[in-house]
Each structure stands twice: as C-alpha cells, then as structure tokens.
Amino acid sequence: MKDDLGLKIGLEVHCQLTVLKTKLFCSCPSNYRGEDPNTNICEVCTGMPGTLPVLNEKAVEAAVKIALALDCKISESMNFFRKNYFYPDLPKNFQITQYDKAGGSPIAKEGLVETIAGIIRIRRIQLEEDPGKLSYEGTIVSSPISLVDYNRAGVALVEIVTEPDLKSPKHAREFLQKLRSILEHIGVCDGSLEGAMRCDANVSLFGGKRVEVKNISSFKEVERALNFEITRQKTMANVAKAEGMETRHWDDVRRVTVTLRVKEAEEDYRYFPEPDLVPITISKEYVADIRKRMPELPDGRKARFVKQHAISEEIAGALVGEKLLADIFEESLKVYMAPKLLGSWLAIDILGYLNRSEKTLADMKFKPKDLAELAKKVEKKKLTENTAKSVVIKAIEQGTSTFEFAKEGAAITDEKSIMDAVKEVFEANPKAVEDAKSDPKAINFLMGQLMKATKGRADHELARKTIEEAIAAGS
C-alpha cells in the first residue's frame, strides 16, 4: 500500500560515544545527566576566544568499531571540517564535523545494515561534536525566551547517515532498534541513556520535496513523527511539484511537525577544513587489530542462539533486539538450562509487557538466576506456567526484586471470576474507567485495584486482557 506513495525515508542518526569518559575535543566529563545547567563546561567547549580543540584519543577506536559493525569502508586518513551556521546552542557558531567533499574525508562510508524488511545502505559515518541544549517556557513556538545549557556541548557524536532505503515509518523504527542493539553490543553507545541516540528523518513522497524532520527524541517518536509527516504531505496540494528542501521540527507534546520560520534565504554551511585540527591516519593494521577484538554482534548472536539452543529465529531475533535482554537470557541459562521456556518468557511475555507499558528492562529488579529458578519449578511441575508469568510481570510492574506468590488459595484463572472482579472494580472507580478510554496509563491503575481486590491471585495476563476489552467495549 505504501509503495504507490513513492515513499523515500532516510535517517541521520546521532549516537553519543557514551563509552568515552570525556568530550570529543576537551577534558570535560562526557556524562552531564543530572548536573545543574552550565556546570560541565570549560573554556574550550564553550568556545571562549583563543581556545583550541584537541581530539580525544579513544574516539577513533570507538568510531572504527561502529564502522566495522556496519560493514563500512574505513578511510585511511580522516580529517575534520567546519560547518558554519549560527544558533544559540552552538558555542562557536560552527560545528566541528566531517565532510565528504572538497578534500574532506569522514571516518567511513558505504556500509549496510540487514533488517527483516531489507538491506539499509549506510552512506557515511562521521565524528562530530554535539551542540548544547535548548529549553523553553512552553513550546518552542510559544516560548518568549530560550534557555541554553552547554553541558552537552562538545560531547562526541558519531553521525550515521542512511540512504533513503527505509520503506515505512515502522521500518524506520525497526532499523533504529537494530542499530541501537548493534551499538550496545560493541559497547560504544548506551542507548538507554536519555538523549544518547537522536535522529533526524528525511521524507519525500512521489519524488517531491524532501522534508527534513528534526528534534525526534525517541524511537517511538520516530514512527509517530514520520506517520504525521507523510499524512501531511499527502494532503498538500503541491507535493508533486515542489522542489528543494524544507526543515520541520517535531513537537512531541502536540504531536505535529511545524515549520520553525519562513525561510528568508538558503542556508549555506561554507564547509572548509578545520584549521586547528590535523589529519588522522587509520592504518590497515590498526583496523585489523580492532576487528580481531570485536565482540559478538546481534546477528551472530542470534544465529548462535538458534544453533545452540534450538529456539526459533523469531524468538532469537527478539532477544538480540536489546543487548540487555539477550544478556539476561544467557545469564539465566547458566543457572538452569531451559532455553525454550526462558526464551519465550523474555521475548514474548516480558518484552510484550514492556512494549505496552511505559517500563523498560531497567525496571526489572530481579536477577536472571531468579528467573531461572522459576523456570526450573515450572519444568518440575511445581508451578504452572501461567502463575510463573504472572508473578514475573507483577514483579516488573511493582519494581520488586523478589516474586510474590499468592498466599492463600490458587490463582484465579477462569474468565467468569475475573469478569466479576473487573465489574466490581469498574463500579468502584468510574472516573478511572472514563480516563482509561483515552489514556492507557489509567488501565494500570485499574489493574492495581483488581490485584488488590483479588489479593494478587488473579491471572495477570487474563486480568489485563479482560479490562482492556471491557474498556474498548465501552461498558
């Protein structure tokens, strides 16, 4: 269906090299999260007059790892360029970055990433510095002022630019998830840190104007922003005739893209070689040495899971979709070998719950060995699988590190008892029921009430399903 739109989506993904201890060109700490504004700064990253950049010695290694993981051609010599433009978050009003024309040589080019929906070609990978952060009173459009925090200015970024090979917003999101997993597996970027991976998207329909959408802060937002933008472009009368490029900003509160201003003129970045930095040679021996020490990548790990543990490709694929998930899988197997059981719990039940709720793996406080023990009990018929899954989900929901089993009586698993309990909870909480029609978070509240009422014995999956259906049916 999407094909007749002539849809072309490309992404520019900015990944912070969170593995580095300091910023790219100065010795300020690289992790600014939780700090007061403008405390993680020095004269270099704030662009004070007379200061000069010096390259972080660990940055090249991290970037080469990314290039190898994405199957790129690595340059034998790389250099830095200045991208000149004015903006309040850019201390020098130019960004030190890399370029692929005018004698510029970025760290790597021409790679690829395999996804289920097809191969995504990587155009180039470049090292560059992060700008500072802008915040507002209200939205970017309504705020009378802007507030600038330079804590993030100068942090090392690797920008990964794809060809417009992405076929749909969903595909874009899947690609980003895979990319994040790859970066976590090689240990250069912790995608769970706020702002560590951000992207801009380029969308065009019917071969028309290419629109750049900026300020997309999470992968969920990517899918939303692209869906919005495609709908917007489809409803525009002139989309087939328009030329050139437009930049729009994703407002994730109102969930719309907006033009920031009517373009007075064409921006011209006047790229030229950064005079204060020298070329860096990347020898074949250096790259070969790093290649030898490369850790296992998601695709390799997936194949190994399938081979070693005889689990399905789907389950294995879901497990390596997030490094931590795959790590938990392997840790738990060390304690008790139940790959089919543990694989499906992690890849289907737990992952499914996390995707529905606002929780992440970080909210899972129990240890892999506890999970393994549970699997052992189920295989030895000391516990039903439903109960096991139920207590696991509950532990994540409540953030507990131990499993709570129902103290009295068996689990409630029949539909009628659960329906009765749901009716009682609905009658007692009419406002929450109303809220739940538009806000999924209110369902969590109703679940909590139900578990209280049934003293935790209600089968979690069934209870949730029943509530959701009841809300949807409008009763």
Point out which residues bind another protein (CB under 8 A): 20-22, 27-30, 36-43, 46-58, 77, 82, 84, 86-88, 91-94, 102-103, 134-136, 140-141, 143-150, 260-261, 264-265, 267-268, 270-273, 275-281
Phi/psi region, residue 105 (left: phi>0; alpha: psi -120 to 50; beta: rest), is: beta
Question: What is the phi/psi pair of residue 97, to 5°?
Answer: -145, -165
Write the single-letter amino acid at 336.
Answer: Y
Nearer to another protein, 131 or 368 (CB): 131
The whole-angstrom separation of Cα 47 and Cα 56 is 17
Nearer to another protein, 23 or 178 (CB): 23
329 DSSP β-pair partners: none
Tokens 């197997």 locate to 333
The whole-angstrom separation of Cα 39 and Cα 20 is 19
Q: Which of 179, 175, 318 is nearest to 329 (CA)?
A: 318
The whole-angstrom separation of Cα 164 and Cα 160 is 13
- The token pair at 369 is 């060995």
| Min separation Cβ 294 and another protein, Å | 20
| Min separation Cβ 280 and another protein, Å | 6
| Min separation Cβ 88 and another protein, Å | 4
| Min separation Cβ 145 and another protein, Å | 6
Nearer to another protein, 265 or 288 (CB): 265
| Min separation Cβ 141 and another protein, Å | 5
C-alpha dihedral sign at 456, 457, 462, 465? negative
Tokens 């969170």 locate to 18
Q: Could you tell me if 18 and 196 are in contact, meaning their C-beta atoms sit under 8 angstroms apart?
A: yes
201 DSSP β-pair partners: 11, 213
Nearer to another protein, 25 or 336 (CB): 25
- The token pair at 304 is 């190994």
Nearer to another protein, 104 or 169 (CB): 104
Nearer to another protein, 75 or 162 (CB): 75
| Min separation Cβ 226 and another protein, Å | 23
Nearer to another protein, 143 or 398 (CB): 143
| Min separation Cβ 189 and another protein, Å | 15
The whole-angstrom separation of Cα 233 and Cα 5 is 10
